Structure 1
């Protein structure tokens, strides 16, 4: 029954993923005509690479709560779960990761803790990279939008282990879970944040490869900052599958100094299409990795003992 539910969830997510591509294909195909094949292929490769880097950010956190899976196995769990973001609501990838991680000896509460923390790391780093990128790219913006850096610094405080533990505990209460969330130390958070920052840089490269052909005056810094900020807006609008609509509007707004609304919209449409294609490639890779796993490998890794108080790693 568990296997049927898992594959049923994946089937629904894949249908919604395909629907997202089909419904927007006319607009995307028109935008693709303004780009060269080199830019399209390069941007798609960057999206696929960013997906793998994001998986490493998630794995850095999950290792701290007991996931002993190898890199290929961790990639499989993460890549399969990513299609959950095409289901309305931002919680589905977290729930899918928790369910798939059970195959590797991690209990659902501990897996949920790790996935929530990894999601928070991604949100915080997107805010930081977005704020820094936009302020550096548009120097005059600092006098007017200085508060953006203040907000980014406040979000960075979420990566302090003691603060993050309270955020995770609140998430557990909101979802009505009675279990005690696992603790995640500062070293794991720093490793996850480093991988996540690298992911935003790679995604910035993907946006720049497209934007430089649509608006030749745009640079890498503003492309990176604008894309990270737009993703954050799309993530916060939980009612839209994968932030559809909200991300495009935010991207057009922040790119106004270097691109026309039509150019920014073309970037948003092509970028979403390529990221959807990257998710499909990741799904296929996850299924292929699962197919290569030995059937006899079913041993469950023991969970680390539950901590009763702060330890050296939480300093």
Structure 2
């Protein structure tokens, strides 16, 4: 049995604690905005939301194709089915090269994914470009990447870096074809070339890595485990330039069917398509550069094949690009089923 003095000591020590707890103000209910944010985050993380998100992207792609099907079919009637099939093959090859660029950047950032998982994220995410604004493919890839445990900030960084490299390589490809372009679009959109120097500076590892680390620090996220190297960036630019040549070959096989082949016609087609894409990308209000790309292609091809044939080529090119995007997303969705890690994704993104 404890001595009275000890009991009094324990009781006297317990009283202040109880009194202090009684004096503490009780915490009220959490603010309404915190509940709202939590609800939104839980909804975004749900499988139902991701399924509806993917279906919405596919639906937009289908709508984009069907809404322009009449002009597309008229263009094929003029150019021929064989030329369209050849052009489609080069578009698919270009998309595969672009996928490899994105996959190599994601791997260098720390998320090495199998080709089927990479294709599923990339091709389905690409359908977001048919919504006005360049941010939607990034958001789509962020959510799709979570299925494969790719942190959101890593997906966002990779997507934006891939866009920068695509724009830089496109402008460089335009410079290669510039001496052979006769439509005057380069003079009209001269301001696009002003982006080349700052883009090259920003892509230098000594500038790029600190900027990425600073941006992640602002978001209270750890810095990347492995910094990007000049070899990774240089290879990505080179492969992307090759993809622009494939897009140029898409245009060239159609002009060749009209009797305008040769090396100068090919370089002109490469420069014209690359410029059309870059300007369409910079004018963010146009979904996937719709309208702007066709205007530039028609202006550049008209001196070579005439305005009527140039219009047909531009419309067929647009239709083939949309078909390739939609087919790529469909095939990737089918082949990518079952490739995700069944274990739940972490609640907080790791670097």
| TM bin (shorter chain) | 0.7 to 0.9
1:264 pairs, out of 310, 325, 346, with 310
Residues 233-244 of structure 1 mapped to structure 2, 5 A cutoff:
233-244=279-290
1:157 pairs, out of 177, 201, 204, with 201
Residues 277-292 of structure 1 mapped to structure 2, 5 A cutoff:
277-291=323-337
1:104 aligns with 2:148: yes
Please tell me whether the aligned partners of residues 128 and 153 of structure 1 are also in contact (alpha carbons under 8 angstroms): no
Q: Closer, same or farther in 2 for the Cα pair 1:103/1:230, shift >3 Å?
A: same
Q: Distance in 2 between matches of 1:118 and 1:223?
A: 23
- Structure 2 residue runs without a partner (length 5+): 1-42
Instruction: Report the counterpart of residue 67 of structure 2 in structure 1.
Output: 23
Please tell me whether the aligned partners of residues 62 and 326 of structure 2 are also in contact (alpha carbons under 8 angstroms): no
1:113 aligns with 2:157: yes
Q: Closer, same or farther in 2 for the Cα pair 1:260/1:167, shift >3 Å?
A: farther
Instruction: Report the counterpart of residue 104 of structure 2 in structure 1.
Output: 60
Q: Bigger CA drift: 195-204 or 116-125?
A: 195-204
TM-score (norm 2): 0.75
Q: Closer, same or farther in 2 for the Cα pair 1:143/1:234, shift >3 Å?
A: closer
Matched position secondary structure for 2:150: coil
Q: Distance in 1 between matches of 2:192 and 2:155?
A: 32
CA RMSD of aligned residues (A): 3.4
Shift of 1:82: 1.1
Matched position secondary structure for 1:233: helix
Q: Distance in 2 between matches of 1:299 and 1:48?
A: 34
Shift of 1:210: 1.6
Q: Distance in 2 between matches of 1:288 and 1:184?
A: 32
**Which deviations, in whole Å up to 9, do the C-alpha atoms of 1:11-36 show, x marking residues without a partner?**
22222222222222222222111112
Please tell me whether the aligned partners of residues 84 and 96 of structure 1 are also in contact (alpha carbons under 8 angstroms): yes
Please tell me whether the aligned partners of residues 131 and 148 of structure 1 are also in contact (alpha carbons under 8 angstroms): no
Instruction: Report the counterpart of residue 34 of structure 1 in structure 2.
Output: 78
Q: Closer, same or farther in 2 for the Cα pair 1:62/1:141, shift >3 Å?
A: closer
Shift of 1:177: 4.7
Matched position secondary structure for 1:199: helix
TM-score (norm 1): 0.83
Please tell me whether the aligned partners of residues 215 and 258 of structure 1 are also in contact (alpha carbons under 8 angstroms): no
Q: Distance in 1 between matches of 2:138 and 2:187?
A: 38
Residues 223-242 of structure 1 mapped to structure 2, 5 A cutoff:
223-242=269-288
Please tell me whether the aligned partners of residues 233 and 246 of structure 1 are also in contact (alpha carbons under 8 angstroms): yes
Please tell me whether the aligned partners of residues 132 and 149 of structure 1 are also in contact (alpha carbons under 8 angstroms): no
Instruction: Report the counterpart of residue 83 of structure 1 in structure 2.
Output: 127
Shift of 1:43: 0.9
* Structure with larger Rg: 2
1:246 aligns with 2:292: yes
Q: Distance in 2 between matches of 1:135 and 1:172?
A: 42
Matched position secondary structure for 1:33: helix
Q: Distance in 2 between matches of 1:188 and 1:16?
A: 33
Matched position secondary structure for 1:248: helix
Shift of 1:106: 2.3
Shift of 1:266: 1.4
- Structure 1 residue runs without a partner (length 5+): 307-315
Q: Distance in 2 between matches of 1:21 and 1:192?
A: 30
